[in-house]
Chain A
């Protein structure tokens, strides 16, 4: 072989790698678009995909009734599934990256449980953790507790001798603490309040409204480029701290920066839709399996796969029992727990 042909063959390896990953990302995006359309079509009034696409592209040309149902009622819910799924999955993938632990996610680190506790305080006793949060007292409370929880996790992670396994155990301890506190609240609260707390912790997209969607989307749109900017450094973190340091990465500073960003992402999501577990665990791992560790592909891949899973979950929650929307937190847990077990049992196989 001539030198030129040899060089071409070599480039070919990397080019094929990139092309395959781009195709996978494109496929995920396409699947997501389709899933959102199906999600919009399903409900008490059923529409065909054609009607949905028509109402999406030319809202003026369809019936008022169809337009209102699709745009005002179903659209915020369907898009909230996308935004929350992407946010939780991005939060999960970066928690796993900076803590170097495949089991890290907003759910397993207790951030969701913290948010639930904050929400329960508001629902049961009207306690506002942040003054003047009248109208948004529940999400603001949830957000405040979620942020406090992630800061606690970070603080504990700085202690000498605290490894990544310990951090996940600490997270699980936090989950137990918050669950106990929730039970305490429920014991003292009125029956009505208990029902509200229970429903909140099940996680439901039906709480979605356009204003909430805009807030969650804004945070996602701000956070993603901030994380992408650190793409090379975050990829290097997967080689271990020592190796990352030798490439000029400052692991501690990077950890703090990323943890603040992903806590914001996770907290906003959880505070608006309640506890939706396992998206931050399953989404990232599917992305890793499909795309590898290069953050240029992993980050968008995790966002897309998380969004896709939650969107599919939304469809599932409407179709399992016709006429009833099962809280989506239940659906994602039922699908997520077997995957979680698989991860625990196959840790040696994966790249951790």
Chain B
């Protein structure tokens, strides 16, 4: 099983150190991990650092990978240029680093991913004509079609309607179970994190605040200190943990 371990990782952005000293236990495949933190905490920076787009101190170790390019990264901005059709742009993501010739299995894989994300009807549409949410689904498809073992997804649900948010997170959760993937998703909706994520990593103030099982990490104390809200976590009528926000904590008003 694939695993990702960060040891004393730092990341600089534009000459300024944004994150430092991030150390995690091995994040194992078969898990959905939520990356949480307020705006500007450095979630995207951490993803870019892990994916190799930013330099910095520390050690990023991937173990147990069985493919040459185990990590795929879905950026927050999925591009709106009306350059390619949906089908072509998903195929393009798969073909990077490969020869020009497209094999039948590549087409089969694109088709499988289109079906998996239920966006087959968009295949002939130009990406520039899509809605923000549709483009986000295409971005998710571009990430999945690379057949990675570790997925870093930067707010993949931010432009989706509620049912699509649930569909995508449920799908990602299922993929961790069925295919042993490690999926790290940056999320703003802590309720979704509580419901779908096995583990949560919280960053703030330039470093790692907490990392562990979701229910152990998301606590009223953390919500007050990191997210600046007064909140409770209570079981709903179906017995699931539920986040109730009472208001701003007012620390930083």
- A247 on the B face (CB < 8 A): yes
- A240 on the B face (CB < 8 A): yes
A242 touches B142 (CB 8 A): no
Quick one: which of A266-318 are within 8 Å of B by CB? 292-294, 296
A248 touches B100 (CB 8 A): no
Q: Told that A233-B96, A293-B84 touch, could you supply 4 new A-B pairs with CB distance under 8 A? A: A240-B81, A243-B75, A293-B83, A294-B84
Q: Which of B69, B83, B87 has the most CB of A within 10 A?
A: B83
- Nearest chain B residue, comparing its CB with the CB of A248: B96
- Nearest chain B residue, comparing its CB with the CB of A294: B88
Q: How many residues of A contact B (CB 8 A)?
A: 28
Cα A232 to Cα B100 in complex, Å, equals: 7
- B240 on the A face (CB < 8 A): no
Question: Could you list 24 A-B pairs, sorted by A, with CB under 8 Å?
Answer: A7-B111, A14-B87, A17-B85, A231-B100, A232-B92, A232-B97, A235-B84, A236-B96, A238-B83, A238-B84, A239-B81, A239-B84, A239-B92, A240-B77, A240-B79, A242-B75, A243-B75, A243-B77, A246-B74, A247-B92, A247-B96, A292-B84, A293-B84, A294-B92
Cα A48 to Cα B8 in complex, Å, equals: 78
- A159 on the B face (CB < 8 A): no
Q: Inside 8 A of A7's CB, which chain B residues have their CB?
A: 111
- B98 on the A face (CB < 8 A): yes
- A249 on the B face (CB < 8 A): yes
A247 touches B93 (CB 8 A): yes
Contact mask A57-91 → B, CB, 8 Å, 1/0? 00000000000000000000000000000000000
Quick one: which of B115-160 are within 8 Å of A by CB? 120, 123-124, 128, 142-143, 146
Quick one: which of B89-114 are within 8 Å of A by CB? 89, 92-93, 95-98, 100, 107, 111, 114
B107 touches A11 (CB 8 A): yes
- B73 on the A face (CB < 8 A): yes
Cα A232 to Cα B90 in complex, Å, equals: 12
B77 touches A242 (CB 8 A): yes
Quick one: which of A239-273 are within 8 Å of B by CB? 239-240, 242-243, 245-249
Q: Inside 8 A of B162's CB, which chain A residues have their CB?
A: none
- B40 on the A face (CB < 8 A): no
Tell me the minimal C-beta distance from A113 to chain B in angstroms: 31
Tell me the minimal C-beta distance from A121 to chain B in angstroms: 42
Asked whether A232 and B83 contact (CB < 8 A) given A11-B107, A243-B77, A351-B128, the answer is no
Quick one: which of B44-81 are within 8 Å of A by CB? 51, 53, 69, 73-75, 77-79, 81
Tell me the minimal C-beta distance from A82 to chain B in angstroms: 23
A13 touches B123 (CB 8 A): yes
Contact mask A11-34 → B, CB, 8 Å, 1/0? 101100100000000000000000
A249 touches B96 (CB 8 A): yes
Tell me the minimal C-beta distance from A287 to chain B in angstroms: 14
- Nearest chain B residue, comparing its CB with the CB of A235: B92
Q: Inside 8 A of B98's CB, which chain A residues have their CB?
A: 232
Quick one: which of A199-251 are within 8 Å of B by CB? 228, 231-233, 235-236, 238-240, 242-243, 245-249
Tell me the minimal C-beta distance from A180 to chain B in angstroms: 37
- B26 on the A face (CB < 8 A): no
Asked whether A246 and B75 contact (CB < 8 A) given A228-B100, A236-B96, the answer is yes
Cα A17 to Cα B93 in complex, Å, equals: 18
Q: Inside 8 A of A238's CB, which chain B residues have their CB?
A: 81, 83-84
Q: Inside 8 A of A249's CB, which chain B residues have their CB?
A: 96
- B25 on the A face (CB < 8 A): no
Q: Inside 8 A of A17's CB, which chain B residues have their CB?
A: 85, 88
Q: Inside 8 A of A292's CB, which chain B residues have their CB?
A: 84, 88
B81 touches A248 (CB 8 A): no
Cα A246 to Cα B128 in complex, Å, equals: 19
Cα A173 to Cα B124 in complex, Å, equals: 42
A10 touches B92 (CB 8 A): no
